[in-house]
Chains A and B, each alone.
Chain A
Amino acid sequence: MIKVSQLSKKYADQTVLNLEHLEIPKGQSFGLVGNNGAGKTTFFSLLLDLIQPTTGYISSNDVVIKDSEDWKPFTAAFIDETFLIGYLTPEEYFYFIGELRGQSKADVTALLNGFEDFFHGEILEQKKYLRDLSKGNQKKVGIVATFIGNPEVVILDEPFANLDPTTQIRLKGIIKDLASKSGVTVLVSSHDLMHVTDVCERIVVLEKGQLVKDIKTAPATLKELEAYFAGTAEKPVISESSASEVSGEPNTTLESETPTS
């Protein structure tokens, strides 16, 4: 489904992402983990043609993303609040997305009915614009909107952050079902190792833009990941002075989250 080839992204001299080869088959639930600045959001932005790769390309369903717009009909994503339209009510937003994806109003309503539990009575018919909803509720709207119109690829950046525990558990069920029952390729990033190992069949670890681990999820995976991240946390304390680590950290974060050209 998704093929990555010789992909890299550089800002000035800093390489923020460098993936030689990566293939994600159709219907896989794919997890992306890594510390801040690892390149997760950069990768997702490249997948959505929001930034241009320095070298290489990604293709989705044989469509080269940087060259063609034909990936749009079968791809849906929620990265952050810039994917929401603040002055719409949740209903209007869902129908707007529905219309763009060629869904009738009835289709969208039917889909929304299936998410009544997930919304917990706080989204629909609240007489509120999206801009006035809480962060968590905004996120719910954004996530559910990606399921409209039977997309083949769903990209969710940090979907579990800001959600309440009940919703997190429900969302895990939804994502699992999407991949296993409907054959949707789901790409999820998260800082919560437990959630990713619960949800994803495959987990890729990025560090400073490099792929360092590619794991097929098994019962031992969580332990393995925890050991890995505990290790990267300790490493600098032993090898470098802690002062340089402190000053280095925010830099790398900035590079990937707000790239400056």
Chain B
Amino acid sequence: MIKQFFSLEWKAFIRASSFQTNLAMKILMGFGALYFVVVFLALGVGVFFIIEEAEIGDPFEVVNRYIIYYLAFDLIFRYSLQKMPVTNIKPFLYLPMTKNKVVRFSLLKTVVSFFNWSHAFFFLPFTIVLITKGYPAEEVIFWHIGMAALIYANNYINVLINNKPFVFYGFLAVMLCLGAGQYFEWFDVTLHTAPFFNWLGSDPLAVIIPLALLGLVSRTSFLYFKKNMYLDAGLASKQEIATTQEYTFLNRFGNLGTFLKNDIRLILRNKRSKMALLGGVFFLFYGLLFFTGAVEAYDGPVWKIFAGIFISGGFLFNFGQFVPSWDSAYYPLMMSQNIKYQDYIRSKWYLIVIATAASTLLALPYIYFGVNAYLAVLVGGIYNIGVNAYLVLWGGAYIKTPIDLASGKKAFGDKQSFNAKTLLLTIPKLLLPLAIFWMISIFAPDEWAFAGVAFTGILGYLFRDKVFNIIEKVYKSEKYKTLEAYKQTS
């Protein structure tokens, strides 16, 4: 039985649409994965020596002191990204196998998840370094086992709290308070948790506690799952009470208004798009890193343009990047309805332009950091509207991964944005304005350089009809491939 489950999983993995991309993509993805492995490994090996160098205490004890934050971050990270194993349970419910088996397998699936074994890249080398540095091998190994148990306990805790946002946000709030308390030196939680982890590192018997915790949460999540394995309980999809929204004020824009209305509903009524919007708002605060001088590397004037593009373009990058995938669930309708391609693309363009203009306005408080700071945002906004608004639409034509609107998971860090052609298109999106600014600023004051970037944006805006024709051609030539790709729902 288990064998069959595994063969199903294996097939689901290798037959997934995102996996069946071309070789170049696979190699790129491979390099991406390798990069993270190397970073983790370097951290695992290096952290000991870094702490030793910094002379802030015994490396093992320092790690033990802050490990509580590591575990907390892990849980937050999992909550927002790790997929729950329930999705494919339905077909098994009525097959001749016990519920225990199905539940056990579903939970087992989470055990082999990337979110669990990736930690090994940090903990394994760290443990080895500790042993070679003369820490007692037995104690370190038991510490390692204890940490592994805690990571796995996180895995099951995540399963348990996955549908309880109150618990999660409560946890998040507590962690934020503790973090703030530590930063401002009001209250240091690590002083109270460090003894436990130190004890874990010095007494092999202590490993019983994390193991018991792991046993408890895995058993609880097993029972919880089993109890909820009914179509009208845990497996039910939540229904919202719907209200019809007219947005009549958009009617004056004719066909364009029709699409805009729909896009507003799309954004407000689906989890995934709401997250994109939230991401856009989040980008507004990105500039604080640049203008407050918090990060030294960002101090040059060229970086101000970079910040300006991100601050005003949060929505553009988070939402615009994935046009037309937002409409993937009903793309055949859009393609056979009485819609001209130009209208469709233009409406998306207007949406991006309106949102970019709004972001630029909302960023007005940056004037607090000086006129030049806001000027950078303004110029970034103009460039975004004039040039980047097209480029994201253009790039979108090549991203053919359907978007599951109802799911908030996978909203970022997905392969969707990772595509050779879209990668190429980021060059004019980000590097070109930086280059323009830099070149002009060599022989003229910064104001001139700002003007140069803004002028490029205005130039792009003036050529919009030409560009729309090109984009329309691209969309048309990609249409059939796109339709084909959207049929695959992951």
Does residue B7 face the partner (Cβ distance < 8 Å to A)? no
Does residue A3 face the partner (Cβ distance < 8 Å to B)? no
Does residue A258 face the partner (Cβ distance < 8 Å to B)? yes
What sequence of 0s and 1s flags, for each residue 233-253 of chain B, a beta carbon within 8 Å of any chain A beta carbon?
A: 000010111111100000000
The reply to whether B336 and A49 contact each other, CB–CB distance below 8 Å, is: yes
Does residue B337 face the partner (Cβ distance < 8 Å to A)? yes
State which residues 88-113 of A face B: CB under 8 Å. 88-89, 91-92, 96-97, 99-102
Does residue B440 face the partner (Cβ distance < 8 Å to A)? no
The reply to whether B239 and A50 contact each other, CB–CB distance below 8 Å, is: no
Residue of A nearest to B481 (CB): A261
The reply to whether B332 and A79 contact each other, CB–CB distance below 8 Å, is: yes
Residue of A nearest to B405 (CB): A87
Which of the segments B199-207, B258-266, B277-285 contacts the partner chain? Answer: B258-266
Which of the segments B314-322, B338-346, B349-357 contacts the partner chain? Answer: B338-346
Shortest beta-carbon distance, B85 to chain A, in Å?
23
* Given A87-B265, A92-B245, A128-B242, A101 and B332 contact (CB-CB distance below 8 Å): no
Q: Please classify how large the interface on chain B is, using the bins under 10, 10 to 19, 20 to 34, 35 or more.
A: 35 or more
Report chain B residues within 8 Å CB of A84.
330, 333
The reply to whether B244 and A92 contact each other, CB–CB distance below 8 Å, is: yes
The reply to whether B244 and A50 contact each other, CB–CB distance below 8 Å, is: no
Does residue B232 face the partner (Cβ distance < 8 Å to A)? no
The reply to whether A129 and B341 contact each other, CB–CB distance below 8 Å, is: no
Residue of A nearest to B476 (CB): A69
Does residue A52 face the partner (Cβ distance < 8 Å to B)? yes
The reply to whether A92 and B265 contact each other, CB–CB distance below 8 Å, is: yes
Complex CA distance for A52 and B270, rounded to whole angstroms: 32
Does residue B414 face the partner (Cβ distance < 8 Å to A)? no
Does residue A250 face the partner (Cβ distance < 8 Å to B)? no
What sequence of 0s and 1s flags, for each residue 446-490 of chain B, a beta carbon within 8 Å of any chain A beta carbon?
A: 000000000000000000000000000000000011011011000
The reply to whether B242 and A100 contact each other, CB–CB distance below 8 Å, is: no
Complex CA distance for A88 and B265, rounded to whole angstroms: 8
The reply to whether A69 and B340 contact each other, CB–CB distance below 8 Å, is: yes
The reply to whether B269 and A83 contact each other, CB–CB distance below 8 Å, is: no
Question: Per a CB cutoff under 8 Å, which of B237, B258, B481, B487 touches A99?
Answer: B258
Does residue A235 face the partner (Cβ distance < 8 Å to B)? no
Does residue B157 face the partner (Cβ distance < 8 Å to A)? no
* Given A73-B338, A100-B255, A82 and B330 contact (CB-CB distance below 8 Å): yes
Report chain B residues within 8 Å CB of A101.
338
Shortest beta-carbon distance, A149 to chain B, in Å?
8
Question: Per a CB cutoff under 8 Å, which of A83, A92, A258 touches B333?
Answer: A83
Shortest beta-carbon distance, B489 to chain A, in Å?
10
Report chain A residues within 8 Å CB of B161.
none
Shortest beta-carbon distance, B473 to chain A, in Å?
13
Does residue A127 face the partner (Cβ distance < 8 Å to B)? yes
A-B contact count (CB 8 A): 90
Does residue B331 face the partner (Cβ distance < 8 Å to A)? yes
The reply to whether B269 and A82 contact each other, CB–CB distance below 8 Å, is: no
Does residue A72 face the partner (Cβ distance < 8 Å to B)? yes
The reply to whether A128 and B332 contact each other, CB–CB distance below 8 Å, is: no
Does residue A184 face the partner (Cβ distance < 8 Å to B)? no
State which residues 398-418 of B face A: CB under 8 Å. 405-406
Complex CA distance for A16 and B211, rounded to whole angstroms: 59
Shortest beta-carbon distance, B322 to chain A, in Å?
16
The reply to whether A69 and B329 contact each other, CB–CB distance below 8 Å, is: no
Shortest beta-carbon distance, A233 to chain B, in Å?
28
Complex CA distance for A102 and B405, rounded to whole angstroms: 28
Q: Is the interface of A mostly helix, strand, loop or mixed?
A: loop
The reply to whether B239 and A128 contact each other, CB–CB distance below 8 Å, is: yes
Shortest beta-carbon distance, B327 to chain A, in Å?
8
Shortest beta-carbon distance, B404 to chain A, in Å?
11
Does residue A42 face the partner (Cβ distance < 8 Å to B)? no
Report chain A residues within 8 Å CB of B245.
92
What sequence of 0s and 1s flags, for each residue 111-140 of chain A, a beta carbon within 8 Å of any chain B beta carbon?
A: 000000000000000111101100000000
* Given A50-B483, A92-B265, A100-B258, A75 and B336 contact (CB-CB distance below 8 Å): yes
Does residue B335 face the partner (Cβ distance < 8 Å to A)? yes
Residue picked from B269, B330, B336, B486, most chain A C-beta under 10 Å = B336
Does residue A194 face the partner (Cβ distance < 8 Å to B)? no
State which residues 41-80 of A face B: CB under 8 Å. 48-52, 69, 72-73, 75, 77, 79-80
Report chain B residues within 8 Å CB of A128.
239, 242
Shortest beta-carbon distance, A74 to chain B, in Å?
9
Report chain A residues within 8 Å CB of B270.
87
Report chain A residues within 8 Å CB of B331.
82
Complex CA distance for A96 and B244, rounded to whole angstroms: 12
Report chain B residues within 8 Å CB of A75.
336
Report chain A residues within 8 Å CB of B330.
82-86
The reply to whether B487 and A87 contact each other, CB–CB distance below 8 Å, is: no
Report chain B residues within 8 Å CB of A173.
none
22 residue pairs bridging A and B, Cβ less than 8 Å apart: A50-B336, A51-B480, A69-B341, A73-B338, A75-B336, A82-B329, A82-B486, A83-B330, A84-B330, A86-B405, A88-B265, A89-B244, A99-B258, A100-B255, A100-B258, A100-B338, A101-B338, A127-B243, A129-B240, A129-B269, A149-B338, A261-B481
Known: A50-B480, A100-B258. 19 other contacts (CB 8 A): A49-B335, A50-B335, A50-B483, A51-B483, A52-B480, A72-B338, A75-B336, A83-B330, A83-B332, A83-B333, A85-B330, A86-B405, A92-B245, A96-B258, A96-B262, A100-B338, A100-B339, A149-B338, A258-B487
